């Protein structure tokens, strides 16, 4: 039996081995009886409002997960629809979607009966029944559309073999049993048809604001495109606002998914183009195509972002996101990520995002501010790093200059890195002390990014600091990863949505370049292999030539932790507030 140890979130009672063994066999017996009775026809709870969140687990749509969150009971209630049940199913959670060290609920058949239990896998992927049964079966019923399983799971269980359900991304995993097995331990996980789905399980419990009577809608959708027969496609489509479209406030947006494509449309974003250009070319095609006009790269201002499992996004009653009118581009770019692992051919799609807007402007314009690191190669991550940390600062000097005396209110956030990002957190600090977490994702994935409503509004006042920290994994890379716009380069960004809108659009930092130059000199002095610091050699090339021994790694970490920083405190006009260089907090 696994040892009983305290959970990360709370102290847990200890049990003697005999008590644990007794509880283990009692719980297993109870769970087996519950399922055998349930499969004979106990009615599942009503769907709809009881389970407001829904996501397909597999690309074929054979497994559909719905859930709700009970914060008073600190538990998640699941409803799993299995459209074509064979001999069983594994469903659960793991750190990053792997089947090793996973926390699972297992439904299986042995040819005589059906069984349900809480299990876990070890580091080799071997399945074990858990001594503490924390997936509680609530009911099961066969229906024309398939088998419904209802079960619940507490956020925290005090079981060291269980996954701790936290805010942020959760990697859900599943495996389908095609043949009966004599026992749970006989299940060969490596032989299963299996996969993963990323969701935000712990949705904030926020009341829906009242919508105005003059609200109108506008759908920005793909024009009946044929989804390419490849696993991953980013599709770009240009749309325009009507001529003479005056200033309006976006007050809500939601996804519009073509029926039957729910498992293929992974995430979508609508970007507004830069107002400095009078026109943008029409385009409808892959975002990485050589035929895509370069000017579309100037369509970067996010209006809406949706990912699988996300519900409609509502702005607070007193604020809306302005679009249209003077100083606002008429041109919008829709970007859709299609995930087609089965390489389905000929599937057409007209998915997109529905914007709900009003001409009756609300009290405040909402704004979007970039926090984190400047897009610059001076911030780099050595290769073969398991968890390398970089931090960007929105300093007290910047907020003192740029924010109104009454401050701003952050109500939503979108975290962003490229492929090496693993964790992102933004912290609010006041008078040198950490006050509260603005947004954090300890299981962050660059493949699952959406704008998330915060559980509570965060007030930021002049003189406060906003500190954004990103953790990266480069174990599969052989050379340094520098900051930049390329997908193999890195970013560390939190796009915070707030009101009232200010002139401050970007509040970021990077290490002072002069101190990085001193680092390169130090590397030359203490290493046999010389790093060229010639003026014609770029900073990325200098990083690429470094021999990444322990000394060079540790000194770079110290540089990023303690060297002075260059602060970018930028207005929307791209001019800067006069802040200059600063010491790290």
Quote the CA–CA distance of 412 and 404 in Å, as a whole number: 19
Catalytic residue among 24, 53, 128, 234: 234
Burial class (CB in 10 A: 0-12, 13-18, 19+), 56: buried
Do 502 and 398 contact (CB within 8 A), yes or no?
no
Quote the CA–CA distance of 300 and 332 in Å, as a whole number: 9
Q: What is the 3-state secondary structure (H, E, C) of 187-236?
A: CCHHHCEEEEEEECCCCCCCCCCCCCCCCEEEEEECCCEECCCCCEEEEE
Q: Helices (H) and strands (E) in the chain — how many of each?
A: 5, 37
Quote the CA–CA distance of 69 and 153 in Å, as a whole number: 10
Tokens representing 474 are 């480069």
416 catalytic residue (yes or no): yes
Neighbours of 410 (CB within 10 A): 25
393 catalytic residue (yes or no): no
Q: First-to-last CA distance in the chain? A: 47
Do 102 and 173 contact (CB within 8 A), yes or no?
yes
Catalytic residue among 171, 248, 416, 443: 416
Sign of CA dihedral 339, 344, 346, 348: negative
Do 176 and 99 contact (CB within 8 A), yes or no?
no
- Between the alpha carbon of residue 515 and those of residues 234, 277, 389, 530, the distances in Å are 39, 38, 18, 18
Quote the CA–CA distance of 452 and 193 in Å, as a whole number: 32
- Taking alpha carbons only, the member of 537, 442, 553 closest to residue 200 is 442
Break the chain down into helix, strand, coil percent, rounded to 5: 15, 40, 45
What length is written for the chain? 585
Angle, helices 513-526/550-562, rounded to nearest 10 degrees: 160
- Between the alpha carbon of residue 380 and those of residues 49, 389, 488, 553, the distances in Å are 47, 10, 12, 11
- Taking alpha carbons only, the member of 290, 293, 227, 292 closest to residue 257 is 227
- Taking alpha carbons only, the member of 382, 412, 416 closest to residue 508 is 416
Quote the CA–CA distance of 76 and 162 in Å, as a whole number: 14
Tokens representing 109 are 């058949």
Q: Are strands 88-94 and 452-460 parallel, antiparallel or unpaired?
A: unpaired
- Torsion, Cα 56 288 482 376, to 10 degrees, reads -110
Q: Which residues are catalytic?
A: 234, 416
């Amino acid at each position: 039996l696994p040892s009983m140890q305290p959970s990360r979130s709370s102290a847990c009672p200890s049990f003697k081995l005999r008590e644990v063994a007794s509880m283990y066999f009692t719980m297993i017996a109870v769970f087996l009886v519950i399922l055998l009775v349930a499969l004979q026809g106990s009615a599942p709870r009503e769907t709809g409002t009881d389970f407001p969140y829904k996501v397909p687990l597999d690309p074929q749509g054979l497994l559909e997960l719905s859930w709700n969150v009970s914060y008073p009971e600190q538990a998640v209630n699941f409803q799993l629809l299995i459209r074509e049940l064979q001999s069983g199913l594994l469903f659960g959670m793991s750190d990053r979607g792997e089947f090793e060290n996973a926390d699972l609920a297992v439904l299986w058949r042995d040819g005589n009966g059906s069984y349900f239990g809480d299990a876990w896998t070890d580091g080799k992927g071997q399945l074990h029944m858990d001594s503490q049964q924390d997936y509680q079966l609530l009911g099961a019923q066969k229906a024309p559309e398939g088998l419904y399983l209802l079960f619940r799971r507490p956020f925290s269980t005090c079981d060291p073999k269980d996954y701790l359900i936290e805010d942020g991304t959760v990697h859900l995993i599943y495996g389908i049993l095609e043949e009966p097995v004599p026992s749970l331990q006989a299940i060969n996980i490596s032989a299963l048809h299996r996969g993963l789905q990323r969701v935000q399980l712990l949705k904030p419990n926020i009341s829906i604001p009242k919508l105005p009577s003059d609200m109108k809608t506008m759908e920005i959708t793909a024009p009946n495109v044929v989804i390419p027969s490849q696993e991953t496609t980013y599709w770009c489509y240009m749309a325009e606002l009507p001529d003479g479209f005056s200033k309006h406030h976006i007050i809500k947006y939601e996804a519009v998914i073509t029926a039957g494509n729910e498992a293929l449309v992974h995430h979508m974003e609508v970007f507004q183009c830069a107002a400095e250009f009078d026109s943008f070319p029409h385009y409808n095609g892959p975002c990485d195509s050589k035929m895509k006009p370069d000017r579309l790269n100037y369509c970067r201002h996010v209006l809406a972002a949706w990912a699988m499992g996300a519900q409609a996004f509502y702005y607070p009653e007193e604020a809306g996101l302005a679009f249209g009118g003077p100083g606002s581009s008429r041109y919008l770019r829709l970007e859709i990520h299609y995930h087609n692992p089965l390489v389905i051919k000929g599937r057409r799609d007209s998915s997109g995002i529905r914007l709900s807007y009003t001409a009756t402007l609300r009290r405040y314009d909402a704004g979007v501010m970039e926090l984190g690191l400047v897009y610059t190669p001076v911030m780099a991550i050595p290769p073969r790093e398991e968890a390398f940390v970089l931090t960007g600062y929105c300093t007290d000097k910047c907020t003192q200059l740029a924010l109104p005396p009454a401050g701003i209110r952050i109500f939503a956030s979108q975290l962003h890195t490229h492929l090496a990002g693993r964790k992102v957190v933004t912290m609010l600090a006041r008078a040198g002390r950490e006050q509260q977490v603005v947004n954090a994702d300890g299981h962050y994935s660059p493949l699952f990014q959406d704008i998330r409503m915060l559980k509570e509004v965060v007030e930021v006042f002049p003189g406060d600091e906003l500190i954004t920290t990103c953790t990266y994994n480069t174990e599969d890379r052989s050379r340094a990863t520098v900051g930049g716009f390329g997908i193999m380069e890195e970013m560390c960004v939190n796009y915070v949505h707030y009101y009232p809108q200010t002139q401050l659009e970007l509040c970021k930092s990077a290490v002072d370049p002069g101190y990085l130059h001193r680092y390169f000199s130090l590397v030359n002095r203490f290493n046999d292999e010389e790093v060229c610091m010639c003026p014609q050699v770029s900073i990325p090339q200098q990083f690429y030539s470094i021999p990444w021994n322990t000394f060079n790694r540790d000194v770079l970490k110290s540089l990023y932790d303690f060297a002075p920083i260059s602060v970018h405190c930028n207005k929307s006009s791209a001019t800067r507030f006069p802040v200059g260089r600063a010491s790290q907090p």
